[in-house]
Structure formats: structure tokens, C-alpha cells
Amino acid sequence: MPISAEAGALPWLRRVPAMVAMVLVAAVAWHLRGSDSADPPVPQPAGVPVVRLAAAGQPVPVLIVPNRPGRNLVHVAAPQGVSVGTDRGRLATAAARPGASGSWAEVRLPAGPSRLWIARGGHLAALEIDTGAAATTAPGPDGDVTGPDGPECASAVLGRLAAGTTTPVTSCPASALTAADAAALHGTIRFLAQRGQRAISLAADGSPRSVAAAALVRADSAAAGITVGSGGPLVVVAGWAAADRALTARAGDPTRGAAGAYLAPWLLHAPLQEAAIAQLVPLGYSPRDPLPMQYLAALQGRFPDEPASASGYAAWRQARGLGPEDQPRLYAAARLTVPGVPDDHVHGGGWLPHGTITPVTAVLDGTPPAR
């Protein structure tokens, strides 16, 4: 299985010279459509990833990744009512994506300087961008920023930006299973075996990371005498989109949902914790520890109200020269609801707004079982 052999490395963040994708974050101020009083967009030289338009109105964070010629993913912090595009007369509606916050749209950008239009509620903003002259491709099909794993890739990009690093996007988290995540999954299956669990169900997808993780879970389960089928707790090793669908479906099944779910480490992300099902996730840190809180504060400084994520935190750590945290425990992640108070699913910035993430085990044994 394609686990990174480079200790402490996140393979999807290593620089690949052939991929010179860049990232652009901007705080866009909304202007009245056709207003002559709107401040003109400020041109930025090619390769500068951070732009802020100082103008009247309410700034709204916008992320463009990889900010290179061709297909790009545009992420707007506003949850709905947003349209984007390079032709102000033909804007595409930005929509929600499973397991992610805010709104998202795929936009094809030309080489060199251009203008991205963003409309919301009868207001229009123009963002001057420059993708550079050389055409390139986004990360491959397994980690394509415009595919199902794009929002997680964008979250990792924001983690690096929060650490003060602006480097090309060469790959995405879903392109490989890291050694730290593999150890956490080994520990999870070992924990289930020690509890006497004899059956689990598995949710995976076609990304290289998920394929490797599913193979690990099946092999460890076989060694421990655990049957992988349709019963027992749900073990989720898919990306955000497929995980969101699997958790929602299991939560809607009163019989099977009662067994709960065990999530892969990369699935700690507030939108995924909305499913009404007990969730345990192996983490090498508590989100309340100083470093995760530093990452959260830096993220809010770059992209206000964006939920923290395990992938974003891992990228932030590596950008700061820190290795992975490799002593995982199982944490219970649960959202808190108040009877009679409507749940509007507004995430806001944080690890799990209106919820708790609590350790429930000692450090897990992350070594592979004897075959």
C-alpha cells in the first residue's frame, strides 16, 4: 500500500518542479453592481498568493486554488447566494460541497492577468488575478483540486498559508496514506479487537489514500478475527465527500447507526461531525493543546470563520518544520444541541463549534499486527 516511507513527511506537500501551481487568497469587498464609487481592484504581480482589496463594504474571504491556467477551485466563505466567473455576464453559481463549509465553484482561468467576478445579493466585486504565463495542470485525478477531494486540499493549502508559507500546489492529501495516519488506523483496529468486536463495516472511496487505508483495515481485521461486512460499527477511511454521505446514511439507520463510527484521522472537520451518530477519531493531539490552538488562530487570521481541519493542521505543522504527532488516542467528537433551539448548521471558525472533542482512551498501539 502506498504509505509514505519518508518519516515525518507529508508526501502531498513536497515540491514537484513540473507543477508550479499557486494559491490566491483575497478579502473581497462587495460593491453595488455598476457602481461608479467602487474602488478599482488593485493589480497584483504574478505569483503573489495573497491579495486584499481595501474598499468600502464587508470583506469576504475568497480562495483560488491552484491559481494557474486551466481548471481552478474557488472557495467563498459565504455559504450561499454567491456566483463567480471570468465573464460578469455569465457567472456560475457557487454551491455547497459534502463535508465542507462555505460555497465552491470550478472556474477555468486563462494564462496571465485576468479578472474574477464575484456576485452576491445584487452586489459585484472584481478581483484582479494573474495565473502566470506557463500553462500547467492541477494535481492528478486522485487529488485534483476540482474533484471530490478539492475542499480538503484547499484546507491544507490554507494551513500552509496560515503558517506563512506560499508554495506551489503539487498534490493533495488524498494522494497518499501517511505513516502517521496508518499507525492511527492500526491502533484503531487493535482497539476494536481488544474490545471483542467481531464485525465492522467499511466506507472507502477510490483515492489512493483511501484504497491504501481500506487495504490496511481489511488486513488488520483479518489478522484480528474481525469480519468486514455490513454489520458492527462503521469504519470510515474515505475523503470528506464520501465520508459525509456514509455518515449521513448510517445516522439515518436507527439499527446500524447505534453502533457508531470510527473515523480516519483526516476526517476531523466540523461539517463532518454534524451527522447524528457517535464518532471516534484517532488523533495524536488534543485540539485544545497550544499548537492546534495556534494553528486555529492563524487560520482565522487568514480566512475568518473557516473551520479547522486535521489536514490543515498537518500542513501547518510541516510548514513550520514540525513532524507529525505520532501517539494517537481515540477522541469522541460530538456536537451539542439544545432542545427547542434550531440547528442552522452555521459552522463558524473553530475545531468543533458548539461541540466537544474529548479523549476516551490511552495512547493506542499503532504497530501493525502479526500476520
Looking at residue 122, its pLDDT comes to 82
Query: What are the phi and psi torsion angles at 232 (to 5°)?
Result: 75, -175
Residue 46 has pLDDT above 60, yes or no: no
Angle, in degrees to the nearest 10, between helices 150-162 and 310-319: 40
Q: Share the mean pLDDT of the chain.
A: 83
Chain centroid to Cα 37, Å, comes to: 37
DSSP, res 94: P
Greatest mean pLDDT range, 105-114, 130-139, 203-212: 203-212
Q: Of 54-68, 195-209, 225-239, which range is least confident?
A: 54-68
234-273: pLDDT as tens digits? 999 999 999 999 999 999 998 888 999 999 999 999 999 9
Would you tell me how many other CB atoms lie within 10 Å of the CB of residue 196? 7
Query: For the residues 79-93, what does the mean pLDDT come to?
Result: 92
Task: Quickly list H helices, the chain.
Answer: 150-162, 179-194, 208-224, 240-251, 254-257, 290-302, 310-319
Catalogue all structural domains in the chain, each as residue range(s) with its CATH number.
20-138 (no CATH), 179-359 (3.40.50)
Residues β-bridged to residue 123: 32, 120
Looking at residue 140, its pLDDT comes to 54
Greatest mean pLDDT range, 112-121, 210-219, 270-279: 210-219
Q: Which three cell numbers stand for residue 150?
A: 478539492
305-345: pLDDT as tens digits? 899 999 999 999 999 999 988 899 999 998 876 555 455 44
Residues 6+ apart with CB under 8 A from 178: 3, 4, 9, 10, 11, 314, 324
Q: Of 235-249, 289-303, 345-359, which range is least confident?
A: 345-359
Looking at residue 272, its pLDDT comes to 96
With cut-offs at 50, 70 and 90, classify the pLDDT of residue 364. Answer: very high
Question: Can you tell me whether residue 28 is helix, strand or coil?
Answer: strand
**Higher pLDDT among residues 208 and 1, named by residue:** 208
Looking at residue 340, its pLDDT comes to 56
Looking at residue 133, its pLDDT comes to 73
184-202: pLDDT as tens digits? 999 999 999 999 999 999 9
4-36: pLDDT as tens digits? 433 334 443 333 333 334 556 666 655 434 433
Rounded to 10 degrees, the C-alpha dihedral 186/189/193/194 comes to 60
